Structure 1
Amino acid sequence: MFVDLGKPIADGVNQFVRYLIVNYGDGFEAVSNFILKILLFIETGLRDLHPAILLIVVFGLAWASSRHLLMAAGLTFLMWLIGCFGLWEQAMQTLAIVLVAVLISALIGLPLGVFSARSARFRAVLSPILDLMQTIPSFVYLIPAAMLFGLGKVPAVLATVIYAAPPLIRLTELGIRQVDAEVVEASRAFGATRWQMLRGVQLPLALPSIMAGLNQTMMMALAMVVIASMIGARGVGETVLLGLQRNDAGRGLIGGLVIVILAIVLDRITQNFGRRMQIRSGEG
């Protein structure tokens, strides 16, 4: 009664992956080495930086984003707790992976969001792809990343990018499309080119929406931390994974708390910056 479609699809995918590795293996290796250099640079910088300096940086960012002394002190205290849990270095590894994944997501997501806002045809093609990226179980992303780039931090970063980029693309598109048409028409009447309108009108007014997308991308990147540790990402996710494998509830709980703390700190800082930008755009 049923037609066997599973085996042909699986065989086709395996052949395609082998084709990519054989014909473009050097290219994948070059990309992997480039991303690894950036990742190790950021990770080494964070780990070598004295914790007190990083705590001051967190306090400064929290204060600049919220102008609320109690919130800035609270977020700094939460970061201090990570060191008290004995997972400071692992947290810096995780933070480096998240920052690189968010950076790559922004480099990919912002242009795609802009093109999607400007072209209905491109949006019609991109939308189902984004739906697919957001509905496929996150474990599945590890398979092609590990096959093409091996085990380690780089495939973990790339799998995280695939999982975390869609919200930034969608909210960038939404923010640009929601810019008041009269404002755009006024800029066009003054002789602004499409690039000048984008840079001087649409992107600044869409910035609160873009910041919300960046915030969601950060949160989804952190959600991939534990899963990415399965292919050698290390960091706090490895602590949680070891807790699960060894039936060590205490270790797993501490690792989970550190991930929650990182999520709270990043979420509050980016959200508050987004609110301030929204207020400024409203005043403008």
Structure 2
Amino acid sequence: MDWFYTFPHMDDNALRDLKKGIDDAFRAFTRAYGDALETFFYPLQQFLIYAERFMLKTPWPIMVLLVLALAWGASRSWRIVVGCLVTLLVIGYFDMWEDTMRTVSMIFVSTILSITIGIPIGIAMSRSDGLRSVMNPILDVMQTMPSFVYLIPVVMLLGIGKVPGLIAVVIYAIPPMIRLTDLGVRLVDKDVLEAADAFGSSPWQKLTKVQLPLALPTIMAGINQTIMMALAMVVIASMIGVQGLGQPVLKAIANQYFTLGIFNGLAIVGIAVIFDRVSQAYGQRLQKHREIVHG
């Protein structure tokens, strides 16, 4: 009756040989193409360095004013602007400004990359049911895979540093961008598309002048979710050398520094709330504008 209590499984030697074969193949690929991959991602590294340098070298009053201007432009809400101001001043007062700017630069670059890659894929999915059926299981795996697992292949390929961390963040954060772009384009009213066809619009004109503008509120929801997931992953990516608010949290866990972990954790929460409120408010403004236009 042992078979009833013990699940049948592959022979231990065969399983070990399978795992070893996969690991050896991945290491061989890394040795063969590691340098080429580093060269390929060099522009990305420079972009990240410039973004971080800009945020660190810009005097803090100017950075605060830039954030407040963006918050006002997106939300038109004094409550959100005052909330951003208070959050940033508290972060600076508790000497977490530089780590916060490093984290914000990583979020900024990863969000730009996710938008650049995710929107075209989402548009392609909205136009092809076959591609959507292929991509959906891949996106399901990407969203359910434990975030720590993403660190393993990027470290093996590119080592420890900012670029491997950035790639792991983008892979983890991009699925909502792709899914909600696909959903937003598919939800565009068929009558509006027929009207565009009646006016002789080309497929490109129909996409850029009709579908994307109408799908923008849904796409903004995707951007919001991408930012939130990127912020969560940046903390985990501190394990492979990504600087910012995640490293003090990691240090606090290793050394049992309660206040260090709490303060930096609250700074992460504050940045998350700023991103969330501003992007949500902008998405709601776009939604209201669309309702007025279609009134």
TM-score by length of 2: 0.93
Residues 1:221 and 2:230 are matched in the alignment: yes
Distance 1:12 1:202 in 2: 47
Q: What SS does the aligned partner of 1:235 have?
A: coil
Residue in 2 aligned with 1:145? Answer: 154
Per the alignment, in what secondary structure is the counterpart of residue 174 of structure 2?
Answer: helix
Please state whether the residue corresponding to 1:258 is helix, strand or coil.
helix
Give the drift of 1:225.
1.8
Residue 128 in structure 1 maps to residue 141 in structure 2:
no
Q: What is the match of residue 85 of structure 1?
A: 94
1:61 to 51, 70, 78: 70
**AA matched with 2:231:** L
What are the equivalent positions in structure 2 for 1:10-25 lying under 5 Å apart? Answer: 10-25=19-34
Q: Give the AA of the match of 2:126.
A: A
Alignment partner, residue 170 of structure 2: 161
* C-alpha spacing 1:56/1:16, structure 2 compared with 1 (3 Å): same
- Alpha-carbon distance, 1:155 to partner: 0.7
Cα 1:2/1:97, change in 2 over 3 Å: same
Residues 8 and 268 (structure 1), Cα distance of their counterparts in 2 relative to 1, 3 Å cut: farther
Q: Which amino acid in structure 1 is aligned with residue 64 of structure 2?
A: L
Give per-residue Cα distances to partners, 1:129-164, cap 9 Å, x unaligned.
000000010000000011111101111100001100
In structure 1, runs of 5+ residues without a counterpart are none
Cα 1:98–1:13 change in 2 (3 A) is farther
- 1:1-284 equivalent positions in 2, closer than 5 A: 1-4=8-11, 6-284=15-293
- Size of the aligned set, in residue pairs, is 284
Whether the 8 Å contact between 1:32 and 1:149 is mirrored in structure 2 is no
The CA deviation at 1:71 is 2.2
Tell me, yes or no, if the aligned pair for 1:133 and 1:166 is still in contact at 8 Å.
Answer: yes
* Residues 74-122 of structure 1: CA deviation (Å, up to 9, x unaligned): 2111011111111100111111111111111111100110000000000
Measured after TM superposition, the shift of residue 24 of structure 1 is 2.1
Aligned residues: CA RMSD: 1.3
Do the aligned partners of 2:80 and 2:278 also contact (CA within 8 Å) in 1?
no
Could you state the TM-score of these two structures normalised by the residue count of structure 1?
A: 0.96
* Partner amino acid, structure 2, of 1:88: W
Q: 3-state SS of the aligned residue for 1:224? A: helix
Which amino acid is 1:29 matched to? E
Change in 2 beyond 3 A, CA 1:182/1:57: same
CA contact (8 A) 1:240 1:252 kept: yes
Find the residue that maps to 1:234 and give its secondary structure. coil
Tell me the distance in 2 between the aligned counterparts of 1:124 and 1:57: 42
CA distance in 2, matches of 1:173, 1:165: 13
Please list every run of at least 4 consecutive aligned residues from structure 1 whose deviation after the TM superposition is greater than 6 angstroms: none
Q: Could you tell me how far 1:70 is from its partner in structure 2?
A: 2.6
Greater shift after overlay, 131-140 or 102-111?
102-111
Displacement of 1:20: 2.5
Superimposed CA distance per residue, residues 39-58 of structure 1 (whole angstroms, 9 cap, x where no aligned partner): 01000000001111111112
* Deviates most, 75-84 or 109-118: 75-84
Q: Which has the larger radius of gyration?
A: 2
Deviation at 1:226, TM superposition (A): 1.7
Aligned-residue offset at 1:9: 4.5
